[in-house]
Amino acid sequence: MRSRLLLWLSHAVPAFQPTAAQLGRLATHIPGFELVTVASESEFLRALPEAQAVVVWRFLPEWYALARGLRHAFTPSAGHDPLPDDPSGRVQRHFGHFHGALMSESLLAMLTFLNRRLGDAQRRQAQRLWDRSPYSSIRRLHGQVVLFVGYGAIAQRCAQTLSGLGLVVQGLRRDVSRPSPHAQRVFAPDQLHEALGLADHVVCVLPADTGTDHLLDGAALSQMKPSACLYNLGRGNAIELEALRGALSRGEIAGAFLDVVAPEPLPADSALWTTPNLYLTPHASAISAEYLDLYFEELARELAGLPETL
């Protein structure tokens, strides 16, 4: 008897909503499972008691009590917040590990945009000005130092891309004894200010746990070079946004590119929308037409590694 895999991935973002073709391909790659798909929360909760595994964007803690046969819970999300711990310890959680390939391209685009002064080009185009003066001070990315604040799997995949272009990668992480591929140097958290002072680009890739709240505050930002740029592809709580707005407005750092903020969505009346040299994307660094193709390939591999009887 095949194990039942219950999939509920309804989402407002089209790339996060599986197509019939994607679901068909997934079904052919998991012959040991009966794939059951639902489109609403009510359908999901009705089917949940008979499922041995689920694939979801969100799962509430109280649902574990309804899922008497559940042994594995999967989510495409890299962050752990959509899939809380099972209080009984019965259900094993699985998170997406494929995001780095997509986010590395987004980060490269952000780095290039700021480094090549493309924001200046946009403003001058709007003014119909043919002005070449901003470009003479541009340095190529090769040899510039990029510091990843948070050096987990996503940061390491981004570092692989950037180091291949000749950027010097440094990382900051809690456990400096763990392997840190592609990083020339790794700093401990108490060396944050030292590390910030050496970087041309500071990339925040931190999870949303309480230990990272406002890690990059006004004191930390003051350690950055005036020519340096800041990026956030992790979670919005890590940067003190009012301090960042002040630093940019006073020209104390050269620019910032934020894919995540707190709160989300960013309110229409937020001063961040008009902060000079600040650029925003709407938590989109991993959005791609191939998002679920990559995830379903990963999911099929994980399911193949599970016991035949869950």
- The C-alpha atoms of residue 243 and residue 217 are separated, in whole angstroms, by 6
Could you tell me which residue, 230 or 207, shows the higher pLDDT?
A: 230
Q: What is the mean pLDDT of residues 77-101?
A: 95
Q: pLDDT averaged over the chain? A: 96
- The C-alpha atoms of residue 246 and residue 196 are separated, in whole angstroms, by 18
Sheet-wide strand order for 278-280: 185-187, 168-172, 145-149, 201-204, 229-232, 255-258, 278-280
- Residue 309 pLDDT more than 70? no
Whole-model pTM: value is 0.95
- When pLDDT is cut at 50, 70 and 90, the band that residue 1 belongs to is confident
Q: Specify the pLDDT at position 223.
A: 98
Q: Specify the pLDDT at position 135.
A: 95
Return the biggest CA–CA distance within the chain: 71
Q: What is the pLDDT of residues 192-203, one digit of tens each?
A: 999 999 999 999
32's torsion region: left (phi>0), alpha (psi -120 to 50) or beta?
Answer: alpha
| 276 Cβ contact partners less than 8 Å away, ≥ 6 residues apart | 248, 249
Domains of the chain plus CATH, in order, are 3-98+289-304 (3.40.50.720), 139-280 (3.40.50.720)
Q: Which of 210, 104, 113 is nearest to 148 (CA)?
A: 104
> Which of 35-39, 81-85, 207-211, 295-299 is predicted least confidently?
207-211
Share of the chain above pLDDT 70, in %: 99
Q: What is the mean pLDDT of residues 163-186?
A: 97
Q: Specify the pLDDT at position 310.
A: 77
- Residue 229 pLDDT more than 80? yes
Q: What is the pLDDT of residues 23-45, one digit of tens each?
A: 999 999 999 999 999 999 999 99
Q: Specify the pLDDT at position 211.
A: 82
Q: Specify the pLDDT at position 41.
A: 98
Q: What is the pLDDT of residues 118-165, one digit of tens each?
A: 999 999 999 999 999 989 999 999 999 999 999 999 999 999 999 999
Could you tell me which residue, 90 or 209, shows the higher pLDDT?
A: 90
- Residue 22 pLDDT more than 70? yes
Q: What is the pLDDT of residues 208-217, one digit of tens each?
A: 876 889 999 9
